[in-house]
Amino acid sequence: MSGCFISCSNSDQAISNHFVEVHEMVPIGSGAKRKLPDVRLSRYACYLVVQNGDPIKPVIANGQTYFALQTRRQELADDQAFKQLKEDEKRLLLREEMKEHNKQLVDAAADAGVTSNMDFAIFQNHGYRGLYGGLDAKDIHQRKGLKKSHKILDFMGSTELAANLFRATQTEEKLRRDQVQGKTQANQTHHQVGAKVRQTIDELGGTMPENLPTPETSVKQLEKQKNKISKAVDDQE
């Protein structure tokens, strides 16, 4: 038991919090009872006893196996939570980037002659058709099972958002670099870039964007959760 006390103490844990001395009345025959000293262990204390015990004893060996399995389960759970956190962070970042580059794409398209809202909707659909193998915004919306009020970009994972961000940035640059003029040529340019991004994904052995999973949580919901957490932290400071 001394090894357990040393481990507990060196971990800055109070021994009295984990190894509590108690006295229990134990029957000794003929209805009589005698008070015997005992120790009540916390879960942490049980762990220390098992880890410092002799594995030749079955109860110690079973205990070590139990704690090893529980530790691994927690590691796996933490790993999944970490992966999900990283995915949510990437989605928030890429969606924000997409907003900014879509504004720049609108300006570049306007310089090429895409001026009205209807013109730009048609222009956008040419880009989507190139990237999504012929599917336009309405088709993608339906494929994802979204409500009418939902925005497609809010229900994309980081991989799909990254593909669309590349489509948007490269189309903007090509429109300006080639000094594209006229709605028809602008639409063709957007479709060509989208198709080229799709071809690259295929050559790399990636999943086509229309086949990528749709996140259950929208970017807007992630933003609300993030703002809520930030507010709670600010209130505590």
What single letter denotes the amino acid at residue 120? F
Q: What is the percent of the chain where pLDDT is above 90? A: 51
235's tokens: 């209130």
Please name which of 101, 119, 137, 102 lies closest in space to residue 209, comparing C-alpha atoms: 137
Residues contacting 106, CB < 8 A, separation 6+: 120
Q: Which residues of the chain have pLDDT under 50?
A: 82, 237
**Per-residue pLDDT tens for 158-184?**
999 999 999 999 999 999 999 999 999
The structure's pTM equals: 0.63
Could you read off the pLDDT of 123-147 as tens digits, one per residue? Answer: 999 999 999 999 999 999 999 999 9
**Number of helices (H), then strands (E), in the chain:** 9, 2
CA-based diameter of the chain, in Å?
106
Question: Packing angle between helix 2-10 and helix 43-52, nearest 10 degrees?
Answer: 120
Residue 161 contacts residue 91 (beta carbons within 8 Å): yes
Q: What per-residue confidence (pLDDT) applies to 227? A: 75
